[in-house]
Structure 1
Amino acid sequence: MKQFILCIALITIAASIQAQNNQRVIEVKVSGQGEPLLFIPGFTVPGDIWEPFVKQLEQDFECHVITLAGFGGKTPIDFPWLPQVNSALQNYIIANNLSNVTIIGHSLGGTIATWLASRDSLNLRQIILVDALPASGALMIPNFNPDNLVYESPFNSQQLNMTDEEFAQMAAGMSRGMSLNTSSQEQIKKWMVNADRKTYVYGYTDYLKLDLRKDLKSINIPVTIIAADTPYGKDMVTKTYQSQYANLKTYDFILAENAAHFIMLD
């Protein structure tokens, strides 16, 4: 009997530690009632970006809005960062019995949604991917090999050693290509500047290393992909998505015209 009680106590402690770890890795705001929706933002972006949509949808749906560690003022975590994020979200869905959940993810958030959809243990209804790819690194890096991407690199060191002013200038330049809206560009820049610098640098390395193209074969739920046509144009964007999602059995593809990467802001 004593051994049984000890086992129960250890299981309870382990579950408590796991829950605490999940809370450190992700922050979740829940509102509304109905079928569950899970919103995952993109890299450096807090969950607040989904607020206009949540206000409309929470009348009919239970909305779970995620902010990731290191972003939106949230405490950073140790590395590797992205595997912990993926696991925490999977554990959150299971622990909260989010059956038949729809996941809506932008950019990195869409990549994470793709990873979750490829897990056999989750009962998902569908995923909606907003300008998201399963292997961004393969698109951006010639002769892509995830093993060659490491934290300790000259490029990462350069970004870590930037002054705040230099980093802000870089963020301003990048944000101009992410939205067609001037005020949105300024907000995107602020999100980047306010992100924990190490999470920005090493977390992006995690992001580029992730290649889910083979995992697409395991996805059997409906997938909707919404892609921006700016700045590359309809033909190139369509070709890119067809190539990256070639292993996905079927999906609905929507091209958002006159929109850049942050489609929901444009």
Structure 2
Amino acid sequence: MIARLVLAMMVAAAAPAFAADPAPPPNRFAATLVPAERFEVGTMLVERHGQRGRPLILIPGLASGSWVWQGTARQLMGDYTVYIVTLPGFDGRAPAPGKQMEAAQRALAQLIDTRKLVKPVLVGHSLGGVLALSLAAQMPERIAGVVSIDGLPVFPGAEDLTARQREQMAQSLARRMAPADQRAFAAQQQDYMRGTGVLDMARADELAKLSARSDPGAMLHYMAETFAMDLRPQLPKITAPVLLIAPYFEPDAVQHELTEETKKTYYASLIEAAPRAQVVMVSPARHFAMFDQPERVNEAIRTFLKAL
């Protein structure tokens, strides 16, 4: 259970187009929303949609860009001001110098400060959810709520390890997963998207082509840094409500002897130190639940926002 759950949270990226290849057809999951404004905060790209209502900051996960949030933004931009960020190193962005997670945290805090965002809600997927939890603990008086889609305060299966053990395992996993070249990286990540990312194989292949624009080295750094983290001691500082959306797909879960209820209980145990946290299950869905079950995910987010 531990090894498979850890790997299931790790990565999402895939093949680039090579110069000798014919031009691919348009990708049906590519970002098509035209933002009202596009600007940079440090090495982070920000796209704003809408201009009224509470600000929402949508944070993609590993090797993902604004294309992850297209459907959610369409549903929310009429009632909220939506800021979709693309982290350094992902979706064609250059990696930040130094530690990637720290750079991302600084950029998100800078976005809130420079734009004078009043009580934004942070919505993150996977690594983006980890960043949302971390930022809410760092500046609790500034954040109105956190939605995390399959992003946990500590990697599942690593909750009983010491900090040093997590660090050692993180470095070992990063070394083992480092691709030999770009094509190996493509094959590795296509396998991930097909095995863990989403339920539909054609959709998995298309999403993998989009995430191919990310930097493999940056992805591994993010992965190692995130695996080494344990935010559970910081969770009591979060004063805002927290919604953890947990995907569940029975054929995958039975391999780990997990029912939907036991997975919910397990996720709740990892987030329980946050005073106002709740877990909502979405089924059937894999890690990118916003693609497998967009209506249910968007409805869960909207219900959470209305209750704030």
- TM (normalized to structure 1)? 0.83
Name which of structure 1's ranges 120-129 and 66-75 shifts more when overlaid on structure 2.
120-129
Q: Aligned pair in 2 of structure 1 residues 225, 141: CA closer, same or farther (>3 Å)?
A: closer
Q: Are the aligned partners of 2:170 and 2:227 in contact in 1 as well (CA < 8 Å)?
A: no
Unaligned runs of 5+ residues in structure 1 are: 1-19
Q: CA deviation at 1:141?
A: 4.0
Equivalent of 1:222, from 236, 241, 244?
Answer: 241
Structure 1 residue 147, shift from structure 2 partner: 3.2
1:90 matched to which residue of 2? 109
Partner of 1:172: 190
Residue from 132, 145, 151 that aligns with 2:162: 145
The CA deviation at 1:237 is 1.4
Matched, 1:74 2:108: no
Where 1:265 maps in the other structure, the secondary structure is helix
| Partners of 1:207 and 1:164 in 2: CA distance | 23
Paired residue secondary structure (2:134): helix
Equivalence for 1:243: 269
* Per-residue CA distance 1:80-111 (angstroms, 9 max, x = gap): 11111111111211221111211111111111
Q: Secondary structure at 2:197's aligned position in 1?
A: coil
- Is the alpha carbon distance of 1:249 and 1:142 closer, same or farther for their aligned partners in structure 2, counting shifts above 3 Å? closer
Cα distance in structure 2, aligned partners of 1:183 and 1:88: 34
Q: Does 1:252 align with 2:294?
A: no
In the TM superposition, what is the alpha-carbon distance from 1:192 to its structure 2 partner?
4.5
| Number of aligned residues | 244
Match of 1:14 in 2: none
Q: Of 42, 62, 73, which residue of structure 1 is paired with 2:61?
A: 42
Matched, 1:107 2:126: yes
| Unpaired runs of at least 5, structure 2 | 1-38, 254-258, 293-308
Secondary structure of the equivalent of 2:151? coil
CA contact (8 A) 1:94 1:122 kept: no
CA distance in 2, matches of 1:153, 1:204: 9
The match for 1:13 is none
| Alpha-carbon distance change, 152 to 243 in structure 1, aligned in 2, over 3 angstroms | closer
Contact kept in structure 2, 1:146 and 1:209, CA below 8 Å? yes
Give the Cα separation in 2 of the matches to 1:32 and 1:254.
27
Q: Which runs of 4+ in 1 moved over 4 A?
A: 150-155
2:267 aligned counterpart, secondary structure: helix
Instruction: Tell me, yes or no, if the aligned pair for 1:93 and 1:122 is still in contact at 8 Å.
Output: no
Larger mean CA deviation between 78-87 and 146-155 belongs to: 146-155
Structure 1 stretch displaced more, 236-245 or 115-124: 115-124
**Secondary structure of 2:92's match?**
coil
Distance change >3 Å, CA 189–CA 144, structure 1 → 2:
farther
User: 1:34-84: per-residue Cα shift (whole Å, max 9, x none)?
Assistant: 221110011111022111221232222111001001111111122211111
Cα drift, residue 152 of structure 1: 9.8
Aligned counterparts of 2:58 and 2:112: Cα–Cα separation in 1 = 12
**Percent of residue pairs bearing the same amino acid type:** 23
User: Is the Cα–Cα contact under 8 Å of residues 170 and 228 in structure 2 kept in the other structure?
Assistant: no
**Given residue 135 of structure 2, which amino acid in structure 1 is its aligned partner?**
L
Instruction: Name the residue aligned to 2:49.
Output: 31
State the alpha-carbon separation in 2 of the partners of residues 226 and 243 from structure 1. 14
Q: Residue 204 of structure 1: which of 207, 220, 223 is its match?
A: 223
Q: Which structure is larger by alpha-carbon Rg, 1 or 2? A: 1
Contact kept in structure 2, 1:135 and 1:208, CA below 8 Å = yes
Superposition map of 1:49-64 within 5 A: 49-64=68-83
Q: 1:211 to 1:168 in 2, by over 3 A?
A: same
Alignment match, 2:300:
none
Aligned counterparts of 1:102 and 1:154: Cα–Cα separation in 2: 35
